[in-house]
Amino acid sequence: MTDASKFIAIDGPAGSGKSSVSKEIARREGYGYLDTGAAYRALAWHVLDRGDDTADADAVRAAASAFPFSQGLDPDDRIVRVGDVDVTAAIREPRVSNAVSGVARVPEIRVQVNEMFRRIVAESEYPAVIVEGRDITTVVAPDAPVRILLTAAPEVRAARRAGELAGENAAVVAEALHKRDASDSTVVDFLNAAEGVDVVDSTELDFAQTIDAVLTVIAQRRDADRGA
């Protein structure tokens, strides 16, 4: 088992606030920040850039066999590259967002990418790395000292995401979130906390309150781990 002592694992559905919360806590505490979704997005971009379809599992495997991915852990300098190409902005484009689920559904890809996450964290110079995604608490680092499921009611998540996407219709955003959750949940359960995972429900919390709630869990769990 990979040593997961440097992991602060945070899972949650789309629109739960895990990215913005994780980045802010990393800034405050001097931690690294790893957005695992960026790796899947970058691989989806790589597949599309090769002229292939992410619905074709063989094409995804072929692209993954030559996937020169790199990502910065500084929460304020998170450049994502595939080879020498800066894809930081490109992986957020709708064509990639619409294709990424096809990549994430391939079991071998998840194994390969998860190993890459463990290596990135192990080799980092940060005292801890906040790693957020879908299955960090259960698959990537199930033995991490801090494991948190950050969630919120579906309508709240949709409203927040619509607010981030200026000009987008809230109903359209809500439908997109529902489809993404439904698709991704066939691969991994990120809506229910596994045993030993702390839940932070931000439905009734603002951003500052959510930060405080997550920081409290981190402090309690890390103190308990040091005292064990």
Binding-site residues for ATP, please? 12-20
The residues with which 77 forms a beta bridge, in sequence order, are 74
DSSP 8-class letter at 197: P
- 125 is written with which tokens? 């110079």
d(CA 111, CA 14): 22
Binding residue ranges: 12-20
86 sits in which H/E element:
strand 85-86
Measured CA to CA, the distance from residue 137 to residue 197 in angstroms comes to 7
Q: For residue 215, what is the DSSP state?
A: H
Q: How deeply is 159 buried, as exposed, middle or buried, from its count of CB atoms within 10 A (0-12, 13-18, 19+)?
A: middle
* Gyration radius of the chain over CA positions: 17
